[in-house]
Structure 1
């Protein structure tokens, strides 16, 4: 099963809602970390996923963005209250405890005291002592690049994830293509692994804010059968007036023209996803929807591509 790790930002939640009907409920389980104190949009997303039979893990001790100051103590109760206002049985999720690493005492204390079934999401290194505590979790998401299997191999149910996206400081720095991952194939080599995960075409590190870009780049993931079905990302970048932040709409259309031209000449390269269809529609209208919508379409394409695996 595929476990995409997403923050609860508006365009990420919208991507999940728009994928309902395009992904099989048995193939995808999002891991969501709230970043906004207003939990209503997250509750709505959970409700729509639940109605479609899609389970989700939700971090109940978030620590990023609006939760960075330690406002997460009542996240679990608040989210359940929001779901209750939508309607009985209209939304459910698996509570997920995020642990930075073995030194994250507050998270480990929460793990030891939690009284209902839960899962865990480990950002950093897993130690033998932490593994003992993690035995209480129904499943554990961890990065195998950071800890040897000799440590985490005893966990009965593991989700293996890593940050496969080669994020650049500037869009100008992206080449035509970059390697993403082979974890969707490799996780099967571990008998206790129940699935794999990643951060889609976003980075593990949360990026706040942002403004007009000097270069607009569209990121499109694909599985290459000629290279052992490893995943790669094609980057389609605007090329005019790279020294100016003016005319983001024109730059988007340049990048979009490159994408559509590539699709036309390489029809089997990308899976025909809802995200790709959104780009095709935008190409037809020549409408620039804003960078958030562009990211949303790429996220949809990435998730649906891996949901078929």
Structure 2
């Protein structure tokens, strides 16, 4: 099972909705959404996915953004989210650490009409274990998301463990990807079961680091995951060349897209065609610059559909 960890920003949410509406989001994919702020868009998309029988994990105490503050400042919004988390296809996600109050999660679960054993716990380090054991006692959470730390891997192997790893190497500025055009991504989809885990998780092609949207970069870059002959996953970076200033974002995209199209023609027999890739190819056909947010959406859609297909393939 693949648990993509997506921040609840616009293009991540739309990527999920698009794939679900097109019936190409594999049942082997169990999305994790960490909302960065409350919005009617978030509620609408999450509710639509849940009502369409898509199982989701929604983290109720995000470590980034303003979501918690938004809810604490508006009781109506709080009740709306709690009602959403009472849906049978929703799983309450919760970050636990050494500072977690022992009554926080039980109270939240009770307000949603759920059980502790139905939750997904996100462990940040070894110091979280004492609080986890105090809260859960002899039982276990439904899912335990853990970083790649050996004692945690030992503790949760064969005990509802999900390995959460940031497989994407974030480089700044974007032009730095010109020096690393092809990079290793992951083989977790091949290895997780033999390591005793229920599944694996990553931050797609966005990476763990959270940033708000900013100004257009000097270099336009997008990132495409692909399998090699052994079904390991690699990432290819497509980057513009005219990177002296922030002018002409559309022209920069055209430079990166030209590289992608040539690469696709040479490698398409090794790829699994996806909706996201087709949308990129349509940009080339139509001479269209969709905007940087849409580029991220296309890349995420490709990644999720590809990994879903890979899990069926392997």
Tell me the TM-score range normalised by the shorter chain. 0.7 to 0.9
* Cα drift, residue 147 of structure 1: 4.4
* Cα drift, residue 64 of structure 1: 1.6
1:224-239 aligned within 5 A: 224-225=228-229, 228-239=230-241
SS of 1:63's partner is: coil
Q: Measured at CA, do residues 214 and 56 of structure 1 come closer, stay the same or move farther in structure 2, by a change above 3 Å?
A: same
SS of 1:306's partner is: helix
SS of 1:267's partner is: helix
| Aligned partners of 2:53 and 2:89 also within 8 Å | no
Deviations 1:225-273 (A, max 9, x none): 2xx3221100011112x11110000000110111011111221233201
Q: Measured at CA, do residues 58 and 220 of structure 1 come closer, stay the same or move farther in structure 2, by a change above 3 Å?
A: same
| Aligned partners of 1:125 and 1:146 also within 8 Å | no
Q: Which runs of 4+ in 1 moved over 6 A?
A: none
The answer on 1:204 being equivalent to 2:208 is: yes
* Cα drift, residue 146 of structure 1: 6.6
Number of aligned positions between the proteins = 294
1:111 to 93, 97, 105: 105
Q: Which moved more, 1:110-119 or 1:58-67?
A: 110-119
* Cα drift, residue 46 of structure 1: 1.9
Q: Which residue of 2 aligns with 1:9?
A: 9
The answer on 1:149 being equivalent to 2:143 is: no
| Aligned partners of 2:146 and 2:152 also within 8 Å | no
Looking at structure 1, the residues matched to 2 and 206 of structure 2 have their Cα atoms a distance apart, in angstroms, of: 16
TM-score with structure 1 setting the length: 0.86
Deviations 1:141-195 (A, max 9, x none): 2223474423333x6212212000001021111121111111111211233x211
| Aligned partners of 1:164 and 1:180 also within 8 Å | yes
* Cα drift, residue 301 of structure 1: 0.5
Q: Which residue of 2 aligns with 1:250?
A: 251
1:86-165 aligned within 5 A: 92-99=89-96, 101=97, 103-106=98-101, 108-113=102-107, 114-115=109-110, 116-117=114-115, 118-127=118-127, 128-132=129-133, 133-134=135-136, 135-145=139-149, 147-153=151-157, 156-165=159-168
* Cα drift, residue 22 of structure 1: 4.0
Higher helix share: 2
SS of 1:2's partner is: coil
Structure 2 residue runs without a partner (length 5+): none
Looking at structure 1, the residues matched to 126 and 53 of structure 2 have their Cα atoms a distance apart, in angstroms, of: 32
Q: Measured at CA, do residues 67 and 80 of structure 1 come closer, stay the same or move farther in structure 2, by a change above 3 Å?
A: closer
The answer on 1:60 being equivalent to 2:55 is: no
The answer on 1:195 being equivalent to 2:199 is: yes
The answer on 1:219 being equivalent to 2:223 is: yes
* Cα drift, residue 123 of structure 1: 4.7
* Cα drift, residue 53 of structure 1: 2.6
* Cα drift, residue 283 of structure 1: 1.0
Q: Measured at CA, do residues 161 and 176 of structure 1 come closer, stay the same or move farther in structure 2, by a change above 3 Å?
A: same
Looking at structure 1, the residues matched to 151 and 42 of structure 2 have their Cα atoms a distance apart, in angstroms, of: 31
Structure 1 residue runs without a partner (length 5+): none
